[in-house]
Structure formats: C-alpha cells, structure tokens
Amino acid sequence: MPGADRSLSRRQVREADRRAIDEWGVPGVVLMENAGRGAADVIQKFLAELNARTVVVVAGRGNNGGDGFVIARHLRLRGVPCTVLLVSDWKSLRGDAALNYEILSHVGVQVMQVAEDGVRHLAPNLREFDLIVDAVGGTGIVGPLRGHQATVVEQINAAGRPVVAVDIPTGLDCDTGEAPGAAVKADLTVTFHARKIGFDEPGAAEYTGRVVVADIGIPLS
C-alpha cells in the first residue's frame, strides 16, 4: 500500500494534495471520491469482523464531512444500511463537500441535520446503530475543540459503540498526537495517503485504535 510505511506532517499532506491538484491536474472531487471509496472498503471489512450491519456517519461541514458523504453513498450502494447525521447547517457546506451532500439525495441515504441544541443529546440516537463513523473534523484542526463540535465528540465517545475515524480522530492533533481537549476515541482509523506523524507519538493509539492507510492517488513526495 503506497504510503503505509511513511508518516507525514500536516504541511506535507497539504503539499501532496496541492501537487496532485495543481501539478497533476487531479480535481479535488476525485481525491474525495478516492478517499471515501477507500474508507468504505475498509469499513465494510470491519463490519464483517464485528458481525455488525448498520452504520451512522456523523459529518461536519468541511472536507472530512465530504469524505463521510462519499463513504455513506458507497456503503448504501453495497447494501449496508447507512444514515448520515449532519452536525452543521447544510447551507454552510461548500465545494466538493456540498456536491457530495447533494448526491446523497439521489441514492437513498437518509440525512438528518442535527440542530445545535440537539447535539447535547446525540448519544442515544447513536446507540441505535452498530457502528459510528467519525467524519466531523480532519487534520486541519489545531488546538482544543470548542462549542458544539466538542459536544459532538463527547457524545460520540459516550455512545459506547465501535467507532471508525475518517483520516484522523476528530480533536487529535495530527502532528503532535496529542488531544488538547475533547477527541474521539476510535477503534479504527482509516487515514489517507500516509500515516500522520502524530500517530507514532506515545498515547496517540488511545485515540486512533488500529490504523489503516488508504491510497487516494496523490504523489508520495
């Protein structure tokens, strides 16, 4: 698997994305598709390991949420019952994430927008599913989570269900491997392109769980 034996920083990952888009001419939406499909492959195998069936994707408004939308679509098309809980206003979605959100309406994925005041009571809803996919926030998060984003993470952890993190557990710093505030504690992390350098730091495994690298078709150097 390309990148599986390498660990990259936030800056290096961003540079790899930039090169793929600006120098190779690969549209960002293609990279998002590759990421979501690759993650769906891993999640489908994990579901079999757990003897689990139903999935809920908890999605934020950024590209990490967009990856989650692609994951939900691919799981649904493979016959996996999958629901998306959008913990942001759909009107705030932009670019590739907005496009993939729109596609969901055509493939039968149920999408529920969770109002900010409803986030505090999210855990009971999450317990209705066998597996939670954390697509709330990605590698761009620096510093402690605040407001409703921190509450969402706390509710995911309180749900007591197996969790798969998309690229990185929300709230974990990809460079330091530290959680300066609330952070998702995942059983499995599907990270894109390469491991993040923070994953190798002491204590990071408490949040990442097992790490699988998904190749999304961007340059290694």
Locus of tokens 């706390």: 154
**pLDDT value, residue 117:** 79
**pLDDT value, residue 4:** 59
In a domain, 204, yes or no: yes
In a domain, 89, yes or no: yes
CATH number of residue 151's parent domain: 3.40.50.10260
In a domain, 185, yes or no: yes
**pLDDT value, residue 171:** 97
In a domain, 98, yes or no: yes
Per-residue pLDDT of the chain in tens (221 residues, 90 and over written 9): 555 578 999 999 989 988 999 989 999 999 999 999 999 999 999 999 999 999 999 999 899 999 999 999 999 999 999 999 999 888 889 999 999 999 998 998 999 999 877 888 999 999 999 999 999 999 888 889 998 899 999 999 999 999 999 999 999 999 999 999 999 999 999 999 999 999 999 999 999 999 999 999 887 65
In a domain, 38, yes or no: yes
Q: Which domain holds residue 41?
A: 7-214
How many domains are there within the chain? Answer: 1
Structure tokens at 78: 């493979």
In a domain, 102, yes or no: yes
